[in-house]
Structure 1
Amino acid sequence: MLPHLPDRMPGLADVTVPLKSAALRGLLALPRPALRAFAGDPVVIDEQTLDLEVQAALRMMALSREPAVGAGPIDVARARVTANARVAGGRQPIGSVRSVDAGGVPARLYVPRQDSDALLVWFHGGGWVIGELDTYESVCRVLAEKAGVRVLSVDYRLAPEHTFPAANDDCLAAYRWVVEHAAELGADPSRLAVGGDSAGGNLAADVALQAAAEGLPLAFQLLVYPATDGTGSSRSRTLFREGFFLTGVLLDRAVASYTPAPEQQLHPRFNLLAAEVPAGVAPAYICTAGFDPLRDEGEAYADKLADAGVEVELERFSGQIHGFVNWTGAGRSGPAAVARLAEVLKAGLAPRG
C-alpha cells in the first residue's frame, strides 16, 4: 500500500480551485528526485509500479484530508467531483462550444479549431451517480482539439434519482438522435464514434452493442477503463479496493444506487460480460489502468469482443489509477495518456479510402 503519511497538511482541503490547481501543478513540476522524496518509496503491486506523479498526487490528497471521491451526501459529492476535475483539468482551448438538445437529452457540442465532420458521442463517468457536463469539460476539449473531431458530451440522468436502465436509455436515445440529425451537428454518419470512461465506458459499450443490433452506423468505440462486470468478482476489485482513488466501498455504493435490485446487476445491458455480441459491432479501443479496481473486467471485455470477431485494441496504462482521463492540465503522465487516447480516436475516425 501507500507509504505512511503524516497527520495533516493544514488548510489545503479548504482552498479554492485555482489555488489547489496551482499547488498540484507546482508539485508535479518538481524534479523527479524531489517528487520521489515527497511521494515516498515506490509502490509495486502485481508486478506494476505506481506512476511517480500519481503517487505524489495521492499523497497530497491524503495529507489534505480530501474526502474520498463520491463520499458524503450526493449533492456535495457531485459538486466536489466537478471542482476536483477543474483542479486537474486546467483551462483547455477549443474552437467553439454550444448546448444541444439531443432528442430530449441535454448535451454539449465541442467543435475544434481545425474542424472536421467526424464526431465522438461521449458519455461521462461517475458511477452512474456523479459527474456532469462541466466535470468533463477539459476532457472533451482536449479530445476534440487533439483528435480533430467534434465531441458531443451527453448529460444522461443519474442515480439514485433515476435507476437502471434510465442512463442506458438516455444514452441510446441520444445516439439514435445523433444518427438522425448528423447533418445538424456537422457530422458525417459514416464517421461516428461512441466513448466514455468508467460508468460512461459501460454506457458507451452498451450503445455500441445496441447500435449493431439495430443496424445504426457506428465507426468506432473508445472505452476508457469501462465497468463491465455486474458481479464485481474480478481479482483487481479486491487487489485495489483501498488506497488508489476509487475505493471498493464507493464502487459498491455506485452499483447499488444505479442497480438496487440483484437482477438488474446481472442484466446484460449492465453486466456486459454476459451480453450477446451481435454481428457488426464497431471496432473498439479499450484501455485500463494498472491500479484500478475495474482493470480486470475491462480487459475481460476486450477478450469477449475479440472472441466474437470484433476488431479490438487493448492497452493498459500500468502505472495509472482510475480517473486519469481527467488529468489533462497537471503533470506529464496524465496529459500524455489522454493525448494517446486522442491519437487513437483520430485514427479510429480517419476517412476510409
Structure 2
Amino acid sequence: MDRFIRALIQWQALDRPAPARSLTVREVRRRYAERAARWCEGHVPQPVATVANQLIHGRGGKFGVRTYRPVTDRNRLVTYLHGGGWTVGDVDTHDRVCRRIAASLGAVVVSVDYRRAPEHPYPGPLQDAIAAAEWAAGAFPERDHVIAGDSSGASLALGVAMHHRDLGGIPFAAQLLVYPPADPDLKSESIHTYGAGYLEDIDDLRWYYEQYMPDPERRSDPAIDLLGADHRGLPPTVVGTAEFDALHDEGVELANRLQTAGVEVQHIPAPGLVHGYLLMADIIPAAEAATRELLAAVERTLASVPML
C-alpha cells in the first residue's frame, strides 16, 4: 500500500468516523465535503480559462451544471458525473477533478450537480445525468464527447451511455468509468477483503444503495446492476480501479464483460491506492500519477477518433 495512503487511513482511524446510517443525510454530506476540502487545502487549483454555473431543465425540474473552458481548447467535451453514493458530493467536492480533466484533455467539462438521493431516488439522478449530457451536446456541438464519472457517478455515466445507445442518441466518443459500483449485491471478494479499514466501509456502501434504490427488488435494473446489463455497442471505455478498494473486483469484472461484449476497453489499475483517489491527487503523488494515467488512456482513445 502507498505510504501516504497508509498514513491517511491511520489518521482517519484516529478520528473514528461514525457509520453513515448513524448520521443524518445532511451530516454525511457535510463530512464528505469537509474531507474533500481537507485533501486539497493549500494547493493551487489547475488553471482553466473560465468557470460558469447555471441551472438547466431536466425531466423532474431544474438542477445545476458547472462548465469549465480549458485554456487550450482541443474541440472536446466531457460530461462529468461526480461520485458520492448518489447521495453526497457535488460540483464543489469534484472541482479539482474537473479542472484536471479540462486542462489535460483540452476539453470543455460540464460537471453535473444532479439531484441526489434520498430526496431524489432512482431514476432521478440518472434522468438528470441524461438531460445534462443532452444539454452539453447541444450547447457545445460537433465535439468529441466523453461521458465520465467516478464511483456512483461512473454508474450514472454508464447508464447515460446505455440510454443513448438504445435510443440512437449521442454518439459518445468514449466513456471514463473510475472505480464504478457494478454489483448492488456487494458479493465480490474485494468487498469483504477491503470493506472495512480502507476508507470505504461495506455498511456505508449498503446505506448508499438503500438511499438510491430503497426497493431491493428493483436493483436488478441494468442501470444499477451494471454486471447484468447488455454491454454491446457501447463506446470505447476506460475503466479505472484501485488495488485496495472494496469495489475493485466489480470494476475488473465490468471491464472484462465490456470487452467480451466487443467494447474497446482500457483497464487502468491503481496499485497501492484506495477508493476515491481522484480527490487525493493534490496530496498523494501516486494518486496524481494514477489520475494522469487515466486521462492518458482517454487521450489515446480520442486520438483514434476521426476528426469531426
TM-score exceeds 0.5: yes
Query: Which TM-score applies when normalising by structure 2?
Result: 0.91
1:177 aligned to 126, 135, 138, which one? 135
Distance 1:71 1:221 in 2: 35
Provide closer, same or farther for how the CA distance between residues 150 and 159 of structure 1 changes in structure 2, counting only shifts above 3 A: same
Does the CA contact (< 8 Å) of 1:209 and 1:278 recur in 2? no
1:228 aligns with 2:186: no
Q: Where does structure 2 lack aligned partners over 5 or more consecutive residues? A: none
Matched, 1:301 2:259: no
Q: Secondary structure at the match of 2:94?
A: helix
Structure 1 residue 334: deviation in Å? 1.4
Match of 2:68 among 106, 110, 133: 110
2-structure distance, mates of 1:62, 1:233: 25
CA distance in 1, matches of 2:284, 2:18: 22
Provide Cα deviations, 1:112-155, integer angstroms capped at 9, x if missing partner: 21222201100000001101110101111111112221211001
1:136 aligns with 2:87: no
Q: 1:129 to 1:71 in 2, by over 3 A?
A: farther
Residue deviations 1:215-273, cap 9 Å, x none?
22100001000011122111111111110000001001001111110122111111111
Q: After the TM superposition, which residues 53-202 of structure 1 pair with which residues of structure 2 at under 5 Å, given as runs?
A: 53-67=4-18, 72-89=23-40, 90-92=43-45, 93-103=47-57, 104-183=62-141, 188-189=142-143, 191-202=144-155
Q: Which has the larger radius of gyration?
A: 1
For 2:22 and 2:257, the matched residues in 1 are separated by: 33
Contact 1:68 1:245 in 2 (8 A): no
Q: Which amino acid aligns with 1:297?
A: E
Matched, 1:329 2:282: yes
Give deviations 1:137-185, integer Å, cap 9, x for gaps: 11111111122212110011111111111111111121122223324xx
Q: Structure 1 residues 323 and 147, CA, compared in 2 at 3 Å: closer, same or farther?
A: same
| RMSD (Å), alpha carbons | 1.8
- Contact 1:213-1:278 at 8 Å conserved across structures: no
Q: Deviations over 1:334-353 (max 9, x none)?
A: 11111222222333333635
User: Any unmatched runs of 5+ in structure 1?
Assistant: 1-49
Question: Would the aligned equivalents of 1:54 and 1:321 in 2 still touch at CA under 8 Å?
Answer: yes
Any idea what SS the aligned residue of 2:153 has? helix
1:313 aligns with 2:266: yes
Is the contact made by 1:94 and 1:113 (CA closer than 8 Å) also made in structure 2? yes
Inter-CA distance 255–78: structure 2 relative to 1 (3 Å threshold)? same
In terms of mean alpha carbon deviation, does 162-171 or 340-349 score higher? 340-349
* Contact residue 182 and residue 227 of structure 2 kept, 8 A: yes
Q: Offset of 1:66 from its aligned partner?
A: 4.7
> What's 1:271 paired with?
225
Partners of 1:256 and 1:128 lie apart in 2 by 10
The equivalent position to 1:212 in structure 2, one of 160, 165, 179, is 165
Matched, 1:252 2:190: no
- Residues 21-60 of structure 1 deviation map (CA, whole Å, 9 limit, x = unaligned): xxxxxxxxxxxxxxxxxxxxxxxxxxxxx11110011112
State the identity %. 33
Q: Distance in 2 between matches of 1:84 and 1:348?
A: 33
CA distance in 2, matches of 1:138, 1:70: 28
TM-score, scaled relative to structure 1: 0.80
